[in-house]
């Protein structure tokens, strides 16, 4: 009996694949859990696996820091070897990272079917490497698990050859499954200095590698009308230090800098904050979960999560300090009620995906 391979490489992938790993186990479907090595730092990978009480990966690669092209090539080579060794019935990948594209390419070259979880997302901004990755992966996948009708429409307009299924997004499954655990285990609120606060994150290369944009973000946080709690991604911390900004930012009374956080701590911060500012795609989705429901300012020029904006959860504000600060004031003063339901599903996406696999693959 051939297994299903579940391949991950970054924190968001681990989180969003966790419900699928559990659903496969509940259905007694053999599986192989693989970490392709894109995030090799312990805090960005193994910590999340342990926090979510998942089994350790059956196989885990470790890559050294290198260019995006070299990283993609290394993952293809390593995953091809592993695919020949394990011979899975299909390979499940999630999202839009280099590891996702590399694993999908390796599988196709080995004649193995690919299932793309969270297929059909589009920012329509080809400056983003993620846009290349997600488009290419969609066009070589056999099974495309679209989280929404809008994502399904994107796939149909591009005439992808694989089978399309609208399943909802497993990120909602993950939030609903893990919030009770987070509230029991996390002590992060004991470290927060403010009763009411804004939660802010930034990590995308096009933002934090651009000194002008990085300064805009930090100045906006400093001038915000409510204190800002800012867990720093390692990349962001590195850029702040390289540009002699870290010490200055740490001294602002309106900003509390936190180290990179585990998933459970971050869930609790999202639940307790008043507003979220982020350039993360996954956070835009998580904020719509019924047990979080927080407004989000998207600090980017575009988003591949238009459903959250259309539902009233998020607002694309760009990267200028003035626009960010003005929108913070607008959102905090308007106090608009948010929808009770998430546009990304009801928390049963993983079960739908596994049921589809059961109907397509002979186990």
Phi then psi for 81, rounded to 5 degrees? -60, -45
User: Cα dihedral sign for 321, 127, 95, 48?
Assistant: negative
Q: How far apart are CA 129 and CA 39, in angstroms?
A: 16
The half-sphere exposure of 328 on its side-chain side, counting CA atoms within 13 A, is: 27
Q: Which whole-number Å values give the CA distances from 350 to 67, 75, 95, in the listed order?
A: 33, 26, 15
Q: Which whole-number Å values give the CA distances from 157 to 100, 154, 197, 332, in the listed order?
A: 22, 5, 42, 38
Paired tokens of 129: 């490497």
CB 183 within 8 A of CB 262: no
Q: Which three-class secondary structure state does DSSP give residue 63?
A: coil
CB 230 within 8 A of CB 257: yes
Catalytic (active-site) positions = 203
Q: How far apart are CA 80 and CA 42, in angstroms?
A: 24
CB 297 within 8 A of CB 277: yes
Q: How far apart are CA 94 and CA 12, in angstroms?
A: 9
Q: How far apart are CA 239 and CA 265, in angstroms?
A: 24
Among 174, 117, 173, CA closest to 145? 117
Q: How would you classify residue 234: left for phi > 0, otherwise alpha for psi between -120 and 50, otherwise beta?
A: alpha
Phi then psi for 112, rounded to 5 degrees? -110, 135
Paired tokens of 235: 């990349």
């Amino acid at each position: 009996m051939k297994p299903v391979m579940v391949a991950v490489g970054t924190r968001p992938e681990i989180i969003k694949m966790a419900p699928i790993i559990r659903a496969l186990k509940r259905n007694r479907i053999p599986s192989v859990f693989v970490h392709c090595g894109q995030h090799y730092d312990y805090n960005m990978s193994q910590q999340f696996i342990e926090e979510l009480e998942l089994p350790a990966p059956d196989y885990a690669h470790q890559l050294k820091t290198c260019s995006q092209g070299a990283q993609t090539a290394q993952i293809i080579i390593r995953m091809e070897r592993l695919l020949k060794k394990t011979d899975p019935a299909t390979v499940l990948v999630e999202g839009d990272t280099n590891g996702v594209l590399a694993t999908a390419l390796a599988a196709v070259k080995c004649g193995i079917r690919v299932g793309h979880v969270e297929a059909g997302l589009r920012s329509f901004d080809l400056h983003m490497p993620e846009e290349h990755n997600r488009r290419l992966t969609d066009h070589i996948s056999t099974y495309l698990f679209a989280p929404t009708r809008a994502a399904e429409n994107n796939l149909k307009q591009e005439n992808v050859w694989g089978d399309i299924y609208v399943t909802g997004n497993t990120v909602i499954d993950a939030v609903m499954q893990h919030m009770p655990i987070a509230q029991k285990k996390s002590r992060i609120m004991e470290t927060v200095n403010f009763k009411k606060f804004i939660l802010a994150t930034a990590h995308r290369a096009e933002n934090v590698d651009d000194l002008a944009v990085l300064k805009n973000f930090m100045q906006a946080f400093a001038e915000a009308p409510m204190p800002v709690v800012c867990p720093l991604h390692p990349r962001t911390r590195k850029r702040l230090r390289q540009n002699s900004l870290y010490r200055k930012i740490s001294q602002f009374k309106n900003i509390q800098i936190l180290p990179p956080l585990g998933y459970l701590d971050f869930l609790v911060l999202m639940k307790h904050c008043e507003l979220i500012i982020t350039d993360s795609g996954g956070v835009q989705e998580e904020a719509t979960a019924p047990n979080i429901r927080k407004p989000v300012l998207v600090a980017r020029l575009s988003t591949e999560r238009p459903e959250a904006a259309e539902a009233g959860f998020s607002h694309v504000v760009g990267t200028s300090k003035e626009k960010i600060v003005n929108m913070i004031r607008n959102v905090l003063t308007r106090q608009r009620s948010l929808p009770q339901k998430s546009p990304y599903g009801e928390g049963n996406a993983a079960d739908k995906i596994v049921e589809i696999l059961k109907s397509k693959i002979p186990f």
